[in-house]
Copies of this chain bind each other. A is one copy, B any other.
């Protein structure tokens, strides 16, 4: 039996090896993005989980005129692997990922609004991320890059807004991870956000979506070329990336569309079935993987997808992070010779404990296995320790979330979900809307759209998604 799909992967590896021997150009992880501007933040930037970047860059693009009092700014947030290139412009005429949503008279009307879209930190399209150079040694950070959160991404954006003299956003808009950022922006800076659009996002990631991203990361990290993240002068983990993208694609699209588009058609109906791509749906996935495997930095995929997993607007989580930040700021500022913040709520023991635990984590796989085993051993009913306790705990967690989003109570918010989305299912959209309403927000608009495109509907449903966005931005207020 022939395996052209395996040969192809091997050929690409050999090409990279040869390039590296020939001293040819290293693979370019940056997408062909160009024409963006860069904000350079020349101060230490503290991350939620204790990492500190000595400085950082944010790449961004803009559309529409900024008005005199800087009150017409829409901050548009990107999904996991999208760049700041949401729309074509003179410095980069290539179509952007929301090309038909942004423009004069469109969903985001550039006759009215000044739109800013940034690349997230942790990414690879011009903002500081794992492929950026660590000034300490002139080499890429790789997996020495600190763990990054959605809040970190948003805080970096607001440092940029500060530098631009923009105090308050007309609106914070985003879909998927962009919706998470949109919600995070209003939770972190409620006085600086005029209204919110959250499409196919969540107020906290649920285990099914974590599972989908986990398998992608595992597939990538299993590629020997990933090399624990230190591949920048060698062969990139293109094989792992390809599989990661194939898995991701399943979660981005829904069944009904594929049923109609591919059905059970084979790419070469007269041939004997093969174990490489064979059905049209397989060649489609293969193609998605091929397209993406050298387009996005693998380490960025790890960090940014992990940031999505960790996203949780619950009050208890926000409080915990806030305390940790205060303690860590103290350390940072001390190291920088500047004064400590007003109050440091976290006892020093927490930090020690944290370090201790970290050592445990590095050799904890067996413990974890034990733990997992014991929960496995039980029968279905026993697994959770009783559904009553689970229900009580679910109620508490919901209250925690309501408390966590209470800062948004005065911000008109559009929550839009897609009924065929399996990655950010509509019950999660309803959760966002319900929690906002429960916290006292009287201006929540909640729509469900019956698109067959699943999670990707926000890229494809120009009219159905666009109308909701336009209405929310232009009618309210």
Residues of chain A having any CB pair with chain B under 8 Å: 1-6, 8-9, 49-50, 143-144, 147, 204-208, 210-212, 214-215, 217-219, 221-224, 228-229, 239-240, 242-243, 246-247, 249-250, 254-255, 258-264, 267-268, 270-287, 289-290, 302-303, 306, 309-310, 312, 353-354, 357-358, 360-365, 368-369, 371-373, 375-376, 379-380, 383-384, 387, 390, 393-394, 397, 422, 425, 453, 460-461
Contact = CB atoms under 8 A, between A and B. Distances in A.
Contact of A255 (B208, B275, B372): B208
Contact of A283 (B372, B384, B397): B372
Contacts of A262: 207
4 nearest A-B residue pairs (beta carbon): A207-B281, A287-B372, A208-B255, A2-B362
A246 B214 contact: yes
A369 B293 CA distance: 14
Given A270-B353, A368-B277, A6 B362 contact: no
Given A361-B271, A390-B260, A6 B283 contact: no
A441 B242 CA distance: 46
A419 to B, nearest CB: 14
Contact of A273 (B49, B224, B380, B384): B49
A273 B305 CA distance: 13
Nearest to A287: B372
Given A250-B211, A365-B5, A384-B261, A275 B223 contact: no
Contacts of A268: 357, 360-361, 364, 368
A321 B231 CA distance: 48
8 contacts: A2-B361, A4-B365, A50-B272, A208-B255, A208-B281, A210-B281, A272-B354, A283-B372
Contact of A210 (B282, B358, B376): B282
A16 B224 CA distance: 17
Contact of A222 (B215, B240, B358, B375): B240
Given A228-B3, A284-B372, A217 B275 contact: yes
A271 B360 contact: yes
Given A243-B219, A255-B425, A287-B373, A358 B281 contact: no
A4 B302 contact: no
A258 B208 contact: yes
Nearest to A460: B380
Contacts of A310: 273
B369 A3 contact: no
Given A259-B207, A275-B217, A4 B363 contact: yes
A279 B210 contact: yes
Nearest to A145: B1
Given A206-B259, A207-B279, A260-B384, A271 B354 contact: yes
Contacts of A242: 218, 222
A25 to B, nearest CB: 24
Contact of A376 (B211, B287, B369): B287
Contacts of A376: 284, 287
B281 A211 contact: yes
Nearest to A275: B302
Contacts of A461: 380
A172 to B, nearest CB: 24
A224 B10 CA distance: 9
A67 to B, nearest CB: 33
Contacts of A144: 1
B205 A286 contact: no
Contacts of A223: 222
Contacts of A210: 264, 279, 281-282
B263 A393 contact: yes
Contacts of A302: 275
A401 to B, nearest CB: 11
Contacts of A362: 2, 4
Contact of A243 (B9, B218, B275): B218
A221 B354 contact: no
A393 to B, nearest CB: 7
A375 B284 CA distance: 9
Given A271-B360, A453-B380, A222 B250 contact: no
Given A277-B365, A379-B460, 18 more contacts: A5-B218, A6-B221, A147-B273, A208-B250, A208-B281, A211-B249, A215-B243, A218-B243, A222-B239, A259-B394, A260-B394, A264-B312, A268-B361, A276-B365, A283-B372, A284-B375, A287-B373, A380-B460
